[in-house]
Amino acid sequence: MGGGGGGSSTSESGLPDWARPAVESSLNKAVATEGAGGFSHVQDLTPEQLDAFERRKELGQRGGVLEQIAADSYGATQAYRDAASGTGLFGADAIGQQASALEGTIGQAQQAQLGQLQGQAARGGALGSARSQASIDQALTKTGADIAQRELESRRQYALGGAGGVLGAGSGLQNQFLTGVGETEAVGSALQQQAQNEGDAAYQGIQRLFGLYGSPALGQKSVTTQRGGK
């Protein structure tokens, strides 16, 4: 009676023997770099960034320049709010108030017109009649209303135009104040990034090195062990 047995084999693969010293050296370097904080390096803010942040804070804090500009701009919008709500220069009583304010000017214009109207009525033989007097009164009233309306329209346009100018200037002033801050901040950010890159250089180098160890060009070592049986 006879018997038999099977065999088994084990295969191992990895880096070639000649590459192992380099890998071990790299691992030691990686451990040392990690221990020194090289894997978690965060660069501090630069003096330029800190200066820019402080200046931006001063500009934007309560009572600062930007808040003052914003307050002026909001005040300028009163003309737009009056136009939308029918108040102030755009209110129902604005024309009456304007006529009262121009009482002297309107009176002079009406007085000069009255002489002309009376002369025309006299030449037509209607001076002193009720119809003629009503026509004269209507013309004088229209003259006063026209003067007040023209002045009111002028003031409205001036108010709206001035409001637009203040708003535009406010935006421009904000940009001007922040331009210098932005430039300083940009320089600081560039310097910080460069320092961060330098601080990460060792870590990045190790990453690239281990990437090369996995390259096909490095080759692989493969060992197969055969075990027999009976």
- Looking at the chain, the number of H-run helices and the number of E-run strands are 7, 2
Task: Identify whether the C-beta of residue 224 lies closer than 8 Å to the C-beta of residue 13.
Answer: no
How far is the C-alpha of 125 from the C-alpha of 121, rounded, in Å? 6
Nearest-CA neighbor of 89 among 168, 162, 167, 157? 157
Q: Which residues of 64-81 are buried (b: 16+ CB within 10 A; e: fewer)?
A: eebeebeeebeebeebee
Q: List the chain domain ranges.
A: 13-227
Q: Which pLDDT belongs to residue 6? A: 53
> Residues of the chain whose pLDDT is less than 70?
1-15, 63, 212-230
Strands (E), the chain: 8-14, 221-227
Q: What is the pLDDT of residues 48-101, one digit of tens each?
A: 999 998 888 888 777 677 888 888 888 888 888 999 899 999 999 999 999 999
| Of 198, 166, 168, 146, nearest in space to 79 by CA | 166
The CA-based angle 71-76-95, given to 5 degrees, is 145
d(C-alpha 58, C-alpha 178), whole Å: 11
Residue 174 has a pLDDT of: 81
Q: How far is CA 95 from the centre of its chain?
A: 41
Residue 131 to residue 5: CA distance in whole angstroms:
142
Q: How far apart are CA 87 and CA 93, in angstroms?
A: 9
pTM (2 d.p.): 0.47
Q: What is the pLDDT of residue 103?
A: 92
